[in-house]
Amino acid sequence: MEKDKSLENWKKNALSELKRTEIDSFVVETPEGISIKPLYTSLDNKGLEHLDTIPGEAPFLRGPKATMYTGRPWTVRQYAGFSTASESNAFYKNNLASGQKGLSVAFDLATHRGYDSDHERVYGDVGKAGVAIDSVEDMKILFDGIPLDKMSVSMTMNGAVLPVLAGYIVAAEEQGVDVAKLSGTIQNDILKEFMVRNTYIYPPEPSMRIVSDIIQFTSKKMPKFNSISISGYHMQEAGASLVQELAFTLADGLEYIRAATKRGLLVDDFAPRLSFFFAIGMNFFMEAAKLRAARYLWSKWVEKLFDCKNPKSKMLRTHCQTSGASLQEQDPYNNIIRTTIEALSATLGGTQSLHTNSFDEAIGLPTEFSAKIARNTQLILQHETGITDTVDPLAGSYFVENLTKELIEKADTLIQKIEDMGGMTVAVINGFPKSEIEISATKRQAKIDSGEQVIVGVNKFKSDEQDPIDVLNIDNNIVREEQIIKLKQIKETRNSANVNKALANLKNAAEKNTGNLLELSIEAVRERATVGEVSYALEEVYGRYGVEQKVIKDIYKKSYSNKDDFVEVDNALSKFKKIAGENPKIFMAKLGQDGHDRGAKVIASAFTDIGFNVDIGTLFQTPSEAVEQAIKSNAHVIGVSSLAAGHKTLIPELIEELKKRQADDILVVCGGVIPSQDYQFLYDVGVSAIFGPGTSIPYAASTTINKASEQLMRMHNFRKARISK
């Protein structure tokens, strides 16, 4: 009764202070469908069954280890890879000397997609967004002078996971390290690639066979190695709500256990080595609660579905990375603050390792200067804040405990829905998670563009001046030429008969569903088979997977709160229709091997709602393929989304292709992660408009329409002048 009285007193005081008639009008609704009240009390904690959980014991809500950071702080990782293996090796050694405790390797997109650097489809991608790895010789250079029996290595690789993991194992062998001593993680999470990141190679079913073969091999021969990192990170980066990220990630994990047990493995033989990977965004308390909820849900679902005797089979361990999507091009030094807040949230939520993004990653690849700040952010949190002095410091918070409960309940419902469909493989094939995430992303973008969701320095509190930022620029032509020389040397010095035999054995095992594909890939890599050759041997059996791109409709404009922002767009549309007699047509293109298509899909959805006729190309197009499709669709504009630093190679090639086809009346606009220093270069080659991160979609739409109208008038006047002559 006393507590009830206290709550009533608070309501009276609050009403008096706020001069409002109803305190409940201050409830905030989150994208996850969670209602945030302005006050939580001990009454809200009544009946929460998870409150009595203990760190280190199932269901592990308060942490997987009893002592957590009081025994050992989280591992400081830096996700990095630059151009060539030798440059990356030097960067790693410098970071390790500065306090980094584990390596986290970023590979270039050519490697991710299973192409050697000399392949015609990847000339704009080699060495651009990570390190180029074509063979075990590159892998040996990458880890030269780094003892692989002592250093934990995390590798973000999914599509070409077999040759890359095989290369790491063979490089260790030739360093004199027993495979059993290797520690670290291979991402090996192919299901999320079909949802969001798209660096897949093969269809879902054979891809799942590859996952289970890796789990089988590592569980027997690499007891210290994590065979899979089940990743929600890319889901949140693609626009998923925290409930979606939580549920889809855990549902993926359940599907991987199911696949491995079908291969004859016992859950307790491999589940203790599964690990997870979550994004940490700017919703501070909810992100911390998400990690607590994840541990609880994983423990309960594994116990429910699988016969496990070892408590560690139910224990969720996770790596986290601060959000890339929260980083902004405008006022980029603000990103240091954002990353610090996100890092603190991850550690209060109990992550086992952490990567902090550099402040300049919304502009380009991180420099040594920005990477040092990102790394020191973690070191300061570990050594200067006192957060490692106690286990689960947020425990008992009325607010955090209720957020944890809400996330558990909502994610549990979504996991059950996926299980009822037949599991995540079936859900992915049906396109369910991909569609749900795209809807969420489109709604969020509408809230940002309308100013309903404030982004400091972007849609509010804008600065008049922007400080110049140094950007790391990699000449990928030089990298590619160097890689091609190394590939030629390998092929000239190896035993070709042995290589062909090993690749034939791999292909045969894939065709007949026999043997272990990782074991056979290791044999091929020992003989100096390349990443591209191993990948192609399997592609001959499984095919290279591709999906038709679909556009989400009737979401963006409905979710946009300020309808007045569309007045200028509507005026531009009206003007264009008078000139052309039809709505503007835009072809949305993703060039090269970058599969991050959130920007392109959101723009396509929003532009459709605004009044464009939108055609969206398949992923991984060459410039000539994009031009071909744009001409066939009678497009007035080609919109290029670039997120992987290939814009200075691929966009000029696209414009040159338009000229060759006498279709240079089609305008080219582009957007994404493009440094402002590169804008003039792109304008000089013929780009009509560039929309950097943070550009509102109504502004981009009206600008594009007006540019297209101007182009039509120029063409009209040109024809009139020619006729009069």
Task: Write down the residue that tokens 């404009």 correspond to.
Answer: 557
pLDDT at residue 612 tops 70: yes
Report yes or no on whether pTM surpasses 0.75. Answer: yes
User: Is 590 an annotated catalytic residue?
Assistant: yes
Question: For position 291, what pLDDT does the model report?
Answer: 98
Q: What is the Cα–Cα distance from 150 to 332, expressed in whole angstroms?
A: 36
pLDDT greater than 80 at residue 414:
yes
State yes or no: pLDDT of 23 exceeds 70.
Answer: no
What pLDDT was estimated at residue 22?
Answer: 61
pLDDT of 547: 79
Residues with Cβ < 8 Å from 510, sequence gap 6 or more?
Answer: 206, 517, 537, 538, 541, 542
Asked if residue 146 lies in contact with residue 182, where contact means CB atoms within 8 angstroms, the answer is no
Q: What is the identity of the amino acid at 276?
A: F
pLDDT at 355 over 60: yes
Q: 13: which residues sit within 8 A by CB, 6+ positions away?
A: none
**Among 674, 673, 549, residue whose Cα is nearest residue 608:** 549
| Alpha-carbon span 630 to 666, nearest angstrom | 9
Which position among 125, 134, 138, 594 bears the catalytic label? 594
Residue with the bigger pLDDT between 40 and 11: it is: 40
Question: For residue 20, is pLDDT > 70?
Answer: no
How much of the chain exceeds pLDDT 70, in percent? Answer: 96
Would you state the pLDDT for residue 718?
59
Q: Is 233 a catalytic residue?
A: yes
What pLDDT does residue 25 have? 67
Q: In the structure, what pLDDT confidence band is assigned to residue 94 with cuts at 50, 70 and 90?
A: confident
Residue predicted with more confidence, 15 or 326: 326
pLDDT digits (tens, 9 = 90+) for 328-344: 988 999 999 999 999 99
Over 70: is that where the pLDDT of 82 sits? no
The residues, any chain, with a CB within 8 Å of residue 475's CB and separated by 6 or more, are none
* Residue 713 CA: distances (Å) to CA of 122, 161, 449, 685, 705: 37, 52, 30, 21, 12
What is the per-residue pLDDT for 96? 83
Q: Which of 79, 92, 202, 556 is catalytic?
A: 79
Alpha-carbon distance of 716 to 721, in angstroms, equals 9
**CA atoms of 681 and 677, how far apart (whole Å):** 8
Residue 3: band (very low, low, confident or very high) from pLDDT cuts 50, 70, 90: low
Give me the pLDDT at residue 368, please: 82
The answer on pLDDT for 644 being more than 80 is no
- Comparing 103 with 703, the larger pLDDT belongs to 703
Q: Edge-to-edge strand order for the sheet containing 225-226?
A: 225-226, 184-186, 153-155, 102-105, 75-80, 353-355, 318-322, 274-280, 228-231
Asked whether residue 11 carries a pLDDT value surpassing 80, the answer given is: no
- If one compares 11 and 656, the residue with the highest pLDDT of the two is 656
What is the percent of the chain with per-residue pLDDT over 90, rounded to a whole number? 76
The strand pairing partners of 185, in sequence order, are 154, 226
Active-site entry in 123, 200, 233, 556: 233
21 has pLDDT over 60:
no
Give φ, ψ of 320 to 5 degrees: -130, 155
**pLDDT per residue over 249-260, tens digit each?**
999 999 999 999
pLDDT beyond 70 at 634: yes
What lies within 8 Å, CB to CB, of 386 at 6+ separation is none
Confidence bin at 111 (pLDDT 50/70/90): very high
Instruction: Give residue 722's pLDDT band: very low, low, confident or very high (50, 70, 90).
Output: low
pLDDT digits (tens, 9 = 90+) for 200-219: 999 999 999 999 999 999 99
DSSP 303: H
**596 in active site:** yes
CB atoms within 10 A of CB 61: 27
Residue type, 407: L
234 is catalytic: yes
Span of 233-247, 282-296, 365-379 with lowest mean pLDDT: 365-379
Rg (CA), the chain: 26
Write out the two tokens for 474.
């990699």
| Residue 723 clears pLDDT 70, i.e. is over it | no
Of the candidates 140, 192, 486, 590, the residue annotated as catalytic is 590
- pLDDT digits over 662-694, tens only? 999 999 999 988 888 889 999 999 999 999 888
Residue that wins the pLDDT comparison between 408 and 82? 408
User: How far is 85 from 18, CA to CA, in rounded Å?
Assistant: 60
* Averaged pLDDT for residues 617-628: 94
β-bridge pairing 318-322 and 28-29: unpaired
| Mean pLDDT to the nearest integer, 246-270 | 94
pLDDT score for 81: 64
306 residue type, one letter: F
Q: Tell me: the pLDDT tens digits for 303-330?
A: 999 999 999 999 999 999 999 999 998 8
In three-state secondary structure terms, 610 is helix
DSSP code string of 344-395: HHHHHHT-SEEEPPPTTTTTSBPPHHHHHHHHHHHHHHHHHS-TTSSS-TTT
How sure is the predictor about 165, in pLDDT bands with cuts at 50, 70 and 90? very high
Active-site residue, from 65, 112, 128, 234: 234
Does 355 qualify as catalytic in the annotation?
A: no
